[in-house]
Structure 1
């Protein structure tokens, strides 16, 4: 199970106890906000895309942010093409609803969107549809092994 992979990943840093697991689903921004007890915009959603060279990337953005195709194309040189539901588990290592930038498959590059910087802390998922962790921006950057902060969203 993906949450176990994420727990093992965070155990290396001694913070596996920070993972929150819920009795209810946190598979969508709205459900996660209710489960955590915060505003939807503080949920750090992780979106998966395929680039024109067939490589896969993740973009972590604020819960209220939307990827703007013009900005995306300007940065990545192609139209934004999200992975299909049936591709996510194999390509990323986590299922839809629990996709996060931690303990992912080798070769998947992670980018953090500037929309997150409005908040002191955010709540990304932890590999399952009923988990999250509260991290500040420095922690998110460190644990996600992000390539860069980017600006591809509007909110």
Structure 2
């Protein structure tokens, strides 16, 4: 597995301090984020999942703890919209240039507005997908927020 992806290149180019961690990705896992947390031996609240959604028909990215669910109402509100829904996997792959299970918020083909769950910002370190199935980057959540120009908002149900 290559540890150099568009995500890691984007972080390095931006001067963001991070470490790369690989694990055995289970394509049959019911919840990919929880499987990653278990494989890394980390609390699921520190392993964040990257979700692609649409608010009022426009693409957005949201980053939340892997053991929590996104509230569509809160997601829409975070972006000043009326409604939100999850993006279809094929659309998410086309927009980001990554495969489902390996979608990173960093280095996506098209930059879209991003929100990070505000509760994640209290952690000292978090894991976020590194742009490949079975690859996570560990970094300070505020560094991730800054690199992504992400808004912090309450996003979880």
Give TM-score scaled by structure 2 length: 0.82
1:78 to 79, 82, 107: 82
CA 1:26–1:112: 2 relative to 1, 3 Å: farther
Q: How far apart, in 2, do the equivalents of 1:135 and 1:17 lie? A: 5
- Tell me which residue corresponds to 2:9: 8
Q: How far apart, in 2, do the equivalents of 1:2 and 1:88 lie? A: 22
- Tell me which residue corresponds to 1:153: 156
How much does 1:34 deviate?
2.0
- Tell me which residue corresponds to 1:51: 55
- Tell me which residue corresponds to 2:25: 25
How much does 1:124 deviate?
0.5
How much does 1:2 deviate?
10
Unaligned runs of 5+ in 2: none
SS across alignment from 1:139: helix
